[in-house]
A = this chain, B = another copy of it.
Amino acid sequence: MGTGRLEAFSDGVIAIIITIMVLELKAPHGSGFNALLPIIPVFLIYVLSFIYVGIYWNNHHHMLYAAEKISGAALWANLHLLFWLSLIPFVTAWVHETHLVPAPVALYGLVLLMAAVAYFILARILVRDNGPNSALAKALGRDTKGRLSIVLYVAGIALSLWHAWMAVAVYVLVAIMWITPDRRIEK
């Protein structure tokens, strides 16, 4: 089976996830510029989540571009990834309603961690489907960045219980690390 419709469906779901978060940005209470001040932290969390969903779309785009064959297992691994991504608006909302306390920041990290694990599983299944000598397998290589991200998310979750803002700093760090698209696949 080709990758066309898998890409189209994933594009649809990711497009909705990235846009749904803006529904959380309610019009400020007040009509002056100072009414925007309490919105700023919400806005920053929105930016971070937007960038994370953007990173996933970007890497998903690159990975599927390199894949030629997809199995039924890959379809489910892809849905599994979309499931965790679909929880990002939910955890984003909890973080911004509670102002950087441990539990929501830890859950935010847990959802990022599970999305990273789901992406890792999808990558392994696609490599299995396309063979160890495929362009995809060579492009992904040892996936050091993917493994490092998982370690950093776990560290972030642990840190969140101590100082929530340190966890957020780790999540921002991982985002910066990924913001350059996966040049391995761009050949």
Contact = CB atoms under 8 A, between A and B. Distances in A.
A27 interface: yes
Main secondary structure of the interface of A (DSSP, over half): helix
Given A76-B181, A90-B25, A13 B18 contact: yes
Nearest to A32: B103
A12 interface: yes
A101 B30 CA distance: 11
A9 interface: yes
B11 A16 contact: no
Given A31-B103, A50-B83, A72-B181, A12 B16 contact: yes
A148 interface: no
Range for the number of chain A residues in contact with chain B: 35 or more
Given A22-B89, A33-B103, A72-B186, 18 more contacts: A1-B65, A5-B7, A5-B11, A8-B11, A13-B15, A13-B18, A15-B16, A16-B16, A27-B97, A27-B98, A32-B101, A32-B103, A35-B103, A36-B103, A36-B107, A54-B79, A72-B181, A76-B181
A58 B80 CA distance: 13
